[in-house]
Structure 1
Amino acid sequence: MDLLAELTARRALCIIRAPEIPDPVGLARTLVDAGMPIVEFALTTPDAPRLIERASQVDGLILGAGTVMSDRDARDAINAGATFLLTPGLRPSVAAEAVRARIPVVLGAMTPTEVATAVDLGATAVKVFPAARLGPAYFADLHGPFPDVPLVATGGLNAKNAAEYLAGGALAVTAGSGVVGPELAAESMFEEIGRRAREFLAAMGTGT
């Protein structure tokens, strides 16, 4: 799986974080059908490795694990079926485990120094967080010294502002609770989740 190629084509990644997800298969299938197949299950969600293992059976799903904090987290996620990893900040042990396992890793960063360190650690792309506090212009600023570093905008993005971050220079953006709200996931409200995903993509200009 070429994560950069998929992010370039899709431009969106969905973050799933909820206190309860009774039907991860149905949730994943809903997002794939809506045109948002790059999905991360945050490890802060209870029993996340089991959810990843169950969701991995969904055809067309590009499945990752987020909020990966340690090499043990990384191994558990990979063993469960995650095909890429994301971290909230610089996590050298996670990067090393991803390199060892030969899977993509998206490391979190905010400052130019952190972006440079993420690149040195072998990041496939750099997740810039919190994007909404930094603004779309910050991505153009980062591309001055880092013209070839793929940047993923994360934090506070929604259907109303996502396109601004793509225009500002982000390779891709993340869709979080605005698409898969915790209560929607807990109650398996797939019709509403699918509607929100399609709305998000349409606002980005990538919907079908």
Structure 2
Amino acid sequence: MSATTPADFTRFFDDAFATVPLMAILRGHPPESTVELATRAWDLGVTQVEVPLQDPAAVPSLKAAVAAGARRGLGVGAGTVSTPELVHVAHDAGAAFTVAPGYDEDVLDTCLQAGLPHLPGISTPTEAGRAQRRGLHWVKVFPASSLGPSWIHAVRAPFPGLRIVATGGLDAQNAAAFLEAGARVVALGSALADPAQLHRLVTLIPGDRG
């Protein structure tokens, strides 16, 4: 997809999260383990995977996941994209979208120029308003576990059109509470590496995948 406007970003994420309210975050794993965990997520039915670019060592893991996803016809996102320079790193690695921990106009503008759908992070109503004024309807709420489900519910009152991806400190035990509070998607990391949590994740995925 070549996205050049905020409306294009909205359409991209509407489609990406149309059926499964989960995203996998694979942070800090070497390439082989990243692909193994991504495959586990895809096999569960979680189609959206993010590999954070927290340091240069993460780039090979992102590239490995992108290559593995391409074999399934699935894109992989780049997370922790907090500078314009990292937008270019993500684009060069073949990322399908970018995710940021915060809201940064320069990062957003670079993503628009690169045609790379962007999911900015917010943690205040002010940032929610700034995002919507730029035409962004999908945002990442971070750190979700600190803000809590009640924050999600409250912020959607003045911003009912906000589509929220809750991220940070979520697992199979608390994910459902965030969805019930109004988050459209929950992003999970360590739960995918924990066999004890996998059966609980399946209950969040529409259809019989157990």
Answering whether residue 45 of structure 2 is matched by residue 35 of structure 1, we say yes
What is the rounded CA distance, in whole Å, between the counterparts of 2:65 and 2:201 in structure 1?
22
1:5 to 15, 29, 43: 15
Answering whether residue 123 of structure 2 is matched by residue 110 of structure 1, we say yes
TM superposition score normalised by structure 1: 0.84
Tell me the SS of whatever aligns to 2:46. coil
1:100 to 93, 100, 113: 113
Unaligned runs of 5+ in 2: 2-11
Mapped contact 1:24–1:51 kept (Cα < 8 A): yes
Answering whether residue 30 of structure 2 is matched by residue 20 of structure 1, we say yes
Answering whether residue 141 of structure 2 is matched by residue 141 of structure 1, we say no
Please list the CA deviations of residues 52-103 of structure 1 after superposition, one character each: whole Å capped at 9, or x if unmatched.
2222222143310000111110111011110110000112221111111222
What is the rounded CA distance, in whole Å, between the counterparts of 1:180 and 1:50 in structure 2?
20
Partner of 2:201: 200
Partner of 2:186: 173
- Residue 25 to residue 134, structure 1, CA distance change in 2 (3 Å): closer
What is the rounded CA distance, in whole Å, between the counterparts of 1:93 and 1:14 in structure 2?
26
What is the rounded CA distance, in whole Å, between the counterparts of 1:91 and 1:49 in structure 2?
22
Q: How does 1:56-135 map to 2 (within 5 A)?
A: 56-57=66-67, 58=69, 59-135=72-148
Percent identity between the two aligned chains: 34
Residue 153 (structure 1) shift: 0.8
Q: Which amino acid aligns with 1:140?
A: H
Please list the CA deviations of residues 140-199 of structure 1 after superposition, one character each: whole Å capped at 9, or x if unmatched.
211111111111111121111111111111010011122247xxxxxxxxxx4xx74453
TM superposition score normalised by structure 2: 0.83
Moved over 4 A (4+): 195-198
What is the rounded CA distance, in whole Å, between the counterparts of 1:33 and 1:85 in structure 2?
23
What is the rounded CA distance, in whole Å, between the counterparts of 1:140 and 1:175 in structure 2?
20
Please list the CA deviations of residues 14-73 of structure 1 after superposition, one character each: whole Å capped at 9, or x if unmatched.
111115343443332232112112111010155222222222222143310000111110
- Residue 19 to residue 31, structure 1, CA distance change in 2 (3 Å): closer
Q: Which amino acid aligns with 2:174?
A: N
What is the rounded CA distance, in whole Å, between the counterparts of 2:79 and 2:184 in structure 1?
18
Partner of 1:185: none
Unaligned runs of 5+ in 1: 182-191
What is the rounded CA distance, in whole Å, between the counterparts of 2:126 and 2:53 in structure 1?
26
- Residue 20 to residue 87, structure 1, CA distance change in 2 (3 Å): same
Q: Which amino acid aligns with 1:22?
A: E
Tell me the SS of whatever aligns to 2:183. coil
- Kindly indicate whether structure 1 or structure 2 has the higher relative contact order, using CA contacts under 8 Å at least 6 residues apart: 1
- Residue 15 to residue 77, structure 1, CA distance change in 2 (3 Å): same
Count of matched residue pairs: 195
What is the rounded CA distance, in whole Å, between the counterparts of 1:176 and 1:30 in structure 2?
12
What is the rounded CA distance, in whole Å, between the counterparts of 1:84 and 1:154 in structure 2?
16
